[in-house]
Amino acid sequence: MNFIAQALNLSKSAASRLDERNILRKAFVKHPFFGDIEEAFRFEKKFGQFEEGTVVVKAKDSLKVFRGFPKIKRTLLLNPTIKKHFGSRDIVLEEKMNGYNVRIVKIGENLYAITRRGLICPYTTEKARILIDDEFFRDYPDYMLCCEAVGKASPYVPTEVYGIENLDFFLFDIREGRTNRPLTVDEKIEIAKIYGLKLAEILATVSSEDTEKMREIIEKLDRNRREGVVFKDREMKLNPLKYTTSYANQSDLRYAFRFFGEYGRDFMLSRVVREAFQSFEFEDEEKFNERCLQLGRAILEPMIESIRACKRGEMIYEESELVFENQEVIELFKMHMRLLGVEFRVEVLDEGRIRLKRVMRGTSDKIKGILQGSYWK
C-alpha cells in the first residue's frame, strides 16, 4: 500500500499514522469489468484533510486520488442562519434530490462510479458508462462529476417521486479529484450544457435576506414531495448549506421506523428536531395539527406494518428492482454487496432484471421475539 502514501504525498510519520489508525478499506471487488484498476482503497474515516470516502486508485500508468464528497452542514432555520452564513452574497438554491451521492470519474479507459463511502459500485458504474458521455473527461481528466443517482431502479435509495423508472444522474458539483476544489456554479452550468449532462435543478438565485422567497420554494418542494434545497455561494467559495422539507423528514422517519431494529436512534431524533424547528419557523396553528398527525403516522404506520409482516411469518426486507445490461455485472454486484457486509437475497425476474432484498434481521428478530412472548429488555 506504498502507493497511497505516494499518491497523497504523505510524510513518513503521516503514512504510519494512517496505517496505525486502520482507516483504509478495500474500495472494490477485483473483476474484468473494473479492469483499469489494479488496486483501490477508501478512507473509512476522515484523516487529516482527507474526507471520509476518499479513494486512492492505482491504475496501469497512474495513481489517482478522488476526495470524499464533503459533508454539507444543515440549517434548521432559514432566519438567521442563511444570512449569517452567506453574508451579503447572492445565493443559488439548488434542488437537493433524494437518491445517492456518486462521484463519476475516469480511470484508464473507462468511467467508474464511486459511492459516498468510497466504494466503486458495479451497478452504478455500468449505468454511468451507458448514460454519461465521457467526452467531459478528455478535457477534465482528473475531475469528478458529483451526481445524485436517482430512480426506481436504485439499490440504495429507491424513490418514485421523480418518475424515473430506471436510474439517472443529476449533476450538482464538479470537483477536482485530488484537491476537492469545486468549479463555480456558472462553470458547472456551462459544462453541463456543453457535454449534455443533466443538472440538479437550479431553482432560484436570491439575496441571503430573502427568507420569504426561500420559504416559498421549500413549501412548493414539499407539496411536490421533494427532498429539499442546497444553498450555494455562486462562486463556491463558501461552503453550501442544506435544508430539507417536511416531506423528506417524515419520509426518512417512515423508512427508519419500518426498520427500527437497524436504524439508529440518532437518525430518528434528528428528523424530529428538524420538524420542530421548521414548525416553529413556518407554521400557523391549522397546519400544525396536520403536521402532528402526519408525523405520528410516519412513525407508527411503518412499525405496525413490520409487526404485521412478522406476524404473517415474513422476514422484513428492503426491496428494490434493478436492471442490468450485462449478466456478468449482476454477479459482480452480488460480490460487491458481500463486500459491503449486507445480508441480501436476489430473485431473478427476467433477462437482466433482479429483485434485490436486503434482509433486515435486527428488526425481524426483535419483532418475532416479542410476538412469541419475549420481553422488551
Residue ranges in contact with a copy of itself by CB under 8 A: 73-77, 80-81, 83-85, 241, 257, 260, 264-266, 268-270, 272-277, 279-280, 288-289, 291-297, 299-301, 303-304, 307-308, 370-377
Residue of 61, 60, 64 lying closest to 41 (CA atoms): 64
- What cell was used for 53? 470516502
Nearer to a copy of itself, 132 or 241 (CB): 241
In angstroms, give the least distance from the CB of 276 to a copy of itself: 4
Number of neighbouring beta carbons within 10 Å of residue 188 = 25
**Closest distance of CB 343 from a copy of itself, Å:** 22
Cα gap 282→225, rounded to integer Å:
17
Burial of 49 (0-12, 13-18, 19+ CB in 10 A): exposed
Residues in the chain: 377
Nearer CB in complex with a copy of itself: 124/306: 306
CB of 345 to a copy of itself, least distance (A): 26
| CB-nearer residue toward a copy of itself: 83 or 178 | 83
Q: How near is the Cβ of 370 to a copy of itself at its closest, in Å?
A: 5
Tell me how far, at minimum, the Cβ of 282 lies from a copy of itself, in Å.
11
* HSE value, Cβ hemisphere, 13 Å, CA-based, for 84: 6
Task: Give, rounded to a whole angstrom, the gap between the first and last alpha carbons of the chain.
Answer: 45
By DSSP bridging, strand 55-59 and strand 63-66 are antiparallel
Burial of 265 from C-beta contacts in 10 A (0-12 / 13-18 / 19+): exposed
Nearest approach, Cβ of residue 304 and a copy of itself (Å): 5
Question: In the complex with a copy of itself, which residue's Cβ is closer, 236 or 241?
Answer: 241
Between 138 and 377, CB nearer to a copy of itself: 377
| 181 versus 308: smaller Cβ distance to a copy of itself | 308
